[in-house]
A = this chain, B = another copy of it.
């Protein structure tokens, strides 16, 4: 049985595993103070194009969202996010666990609009009782979004501008950032993300690593004593090398971008196959996650041969499922899918 269930069904990209193996017996200090972490940080800063950026590694996506948001917000602040944002719905209340409110605003296809954001902020400050309400202290967006969609450079710039007007940092969740950057249909580069955001992360778990996310603070704004804050959230690992070696490899010879590109190529072919089988797409996604509407009977048949992810039920007889490609998807997988759909 083949699987398009997610982009984390396989282990690590072979080159990542090779690097872990080759460095395995080296004696290194713990907690991220090793040379591979240092090297990976340098490579990432270069790729982002901000020499003075500060980079830190964490283990997973929810952890990263929780650590960044809770260390950057002040006590009285909350974080604005789309109603469909990962932190709003699928992280089991991880932000609230840190004591902070997620201030949900309307979205379209997973994206928030600068105008909607501005309206929210204007409304907050115009309310005479706003000191009795959670103060907005950060804007969270995901790129690609939970629906695989992307912000255009213009859209991202507008959101960034609103944030600057209100002096609120913009945080971009890049759990799948590689797939966004390498989409056929984007004008947003990694450098743009660095310029327009105050903090963001480059996802490893879903783009070729066993685990790991690289957080980038772009404006000398890394929280003070960040290591202590990470530690007390249980998010500091002893063998920091595990993250350092992986990101060092991913950012050597553009591996991160090459494998992201591969996943995009595979996704475009997958879309062709869906079209050929006259399947209806739930929405237009230019990245590696594709949302397809199936008649329930047809889906049941497919699932005997292909693993996919349940997304939602638009009506009684149909189901939206997600098919994700990744660095590990092969042409053979696609051929099997094609056959299974026939």
**Interface of A toward B, CB cutoff 8 Å:** 1-3, 5-6, 8-12, 14, 17, 20-21, 23-31, 59-67, 70-71, 74-76, 78, 89-94, 96-102, 104, 126, 128-129, 131-135, 205-206, 210-211, 223-225, 227-229, 231-239, 241-242, 307, 310, 313, 328
Contact = CB atoms under 8 A, between A and B. Distances in A.
Given A78-B96, A92-B132, A128-B310, 13 more contacts: A8-B30, A17-B24, A21-B21, A27-B307, A29-B307, A78-B93, A89-B133, A92-B232, A94-B233, A98-B99, A131-B227, A131-B231, A135-B228
Nearest to A75: B229
12 contacts: A10-B26, A11-B241, A27-B307, A65-B234, A93-B99, A94-B232, A97-B99, A128-B310, A131-B227, A132-B228, A134-B232, A210-B242
Chain A binding surface, main DSSP class: loop
Contacts of A24: 10-12, 14, 17
A126 B23 CA distance: 33
B206 A135 contact: no
A342 B25 CA distance: 27
B59 A76 contact: no
A206 B30 CA distance: 11
Nearest to A10: B25
A92 B76 contact: yes
Copies of this chain in the oligomer: 4
B66 A234 contact: yes
Contact of A100 (B67, B93, B129): B93
A31 B91 CA distance: 13
Nearest to A211: B237
Contacts of A3: 27
A1 B70 CA distance: 40
Contact of A93 (B134, B223, B310): B134
A217 B127 CA distance: 28
B328 A63 contact: no
Contacts of A98: 99
A237 B76 CA distance: 18
B228 A131 contact: yes
B27 A9 contact: yes
B238 A8 contact: yes
Nearest first, the 4 A-B pairs at minimum CB distance are A63-B234, A11-B24, A76-B228, A93-B134
A146 to B, nearest CB: 12
A30 B227 CA distance: 28
B11 A25 contact: yes
B59 A237 contact: yes
Given A129-B90, A131-B227, A228-B135, A60 B99 contact: no
A309 B101 CA distance: 26
A68 to B, nearest CB: 11
Contacts of A67: 234
B75 A71 contact: yes
Contact of A97 (B27, B74, B232): B232
A91 B132 contact: yes
Nearest to A223: B75
A231 B11 contact: no
B239 A205 contact: yes
A114 B215 CA distance: 41
